[in-house]
Amino acid sequence: MSGTFTKSMARNIFYGGTVFFFLLFLALTYDTNQALPKRDNSQNLTPEVIAGKKIWETRNCIGCHTLLGEGAYFAPELGNVYVRRGPDFIKAWIQAQPTGAPGRRQMPQFHLSDKELDDLVAFLKYASEINTANWPPNIEG
């Protein structure tokens, strides 16, 4: 048995298999790219949303929260927080941090301006409208 299946055969199957599946992956990526405009809410990718994404990134919100289920698991999912709480609550909440409640997980105060808060909310609204195949299962995220 081991006489017929040689190291060279194994190596060639490795190269062939890897190339084949990588090409398949590229094809699926191309198709995904073509399909995205119908799902990704990119028609609402406004300058405010782009600015909001930058605030999301530069305050490292993903360091505590998840967004579409990805990130850290210390604080709530924010992909649907726009639907769960609405823009006014989100802004008020961010402005009111930290709660200082003893023993409760704390969120920093980021000293965001009104424009920055509006941009961030725009980003969260945009995220909530992406077609995520009905994820999360409920409003709690």
Partner 1 sequence: MQYKSQAVAKPYFVAAIGLFVGQIVFGLIMGLQYVVGDFLFPALPFNVARMVHTNLLIVWLLFGFMGAAYYMVPEESETELYSPKLALGLFWIFLVAGALTILGYLFVPYATLAEMTGNDILATMGREFLEQPLLTKIGIVIVALGFLFNISMTMLKGRKTAISMVLLLGLWGLAIFFLFSFYNPHNLVKDKYYWWWVVHLWVEGVWELILGALLAFVLIKVTGVDREVIEKWLYVIITLTLVTGIIGTGHHYYWIGAPEYWQWWGSVFSALEPIPFFAMTVFAFNMVNRRRREHPNKAAVLWALGTGVMAFLGAGVWGFLHTLAPVNYYTHGSQITAAHGHMAFYGAYVMVVLTLISYAMPILRGRAANSPRAQVLEMWSFWLMTIAMVFITLFLTAAGILQVWLQRISTAPLSFMATQDQISLFYWLREISGVIFLIGLVIYLVSFFVKGESRVGAQ
Interacting positions 22-51 with partner 1 (CB under 8 A): 22, 24-25, 28-29, 31-33, 35-36, 39-42, 45, 49-50
Question: What are the distances in angstroms from CA 106 to CA 42, 61, 67, 75, 82?
Answer: 33, 13, 19, 9, 21
Binding partner 1 (rule: CB under 8 A), the pick from 1, 43, 103, 113 is 103
- Alpha carbons 50 and 41: distance in angstroms, whole number: 13
Nearer to partner 1 by Cβ, of 75 and 91: the residue is 75
> Could you give the CA distance from residue 124 to residue 116 in angstroms, rounded to a whole number?
12
Q: Which of 3, 30, 48, 71 binds partner 1 (CB under 8 A)?
A: 71
Q: Considering only CA atoms, which of 86, 104, 106 is closest in space to residue 96?
A: 106
Three-state DSSP class for residue 141: coil
Q: How far is the CB of 112 from partner 1 (least distance, A)?
A: 10
For partner 1, which residue of 87, 91, 118, 130 counts as binding (CB under 8 A)? Answer: 130
- Smallest distance from partner 1 to CB 92, Å: 17
Question: CB 87 → partner 1: shortest distance, Å?
Answer: 18
DSSP 3-state percent helix, strand, coil across the chain (nearest 5): 55, 5, 40
Tokens linked to 60: 């490292």
Contact positions with partner 1 (CB under 8 A) in 78-97 = none
Question: Between residues 34 and 88, which has the closer beta carbon with respect to partner 1?
Answer: 34
CB of 16 to partner 1, least distance (A): 9
Of 131, 121, 132, 140, the C-alpha closest to 56 is: 121
Contacts with partner 1 by CB under 8 A: the residue count is: 74
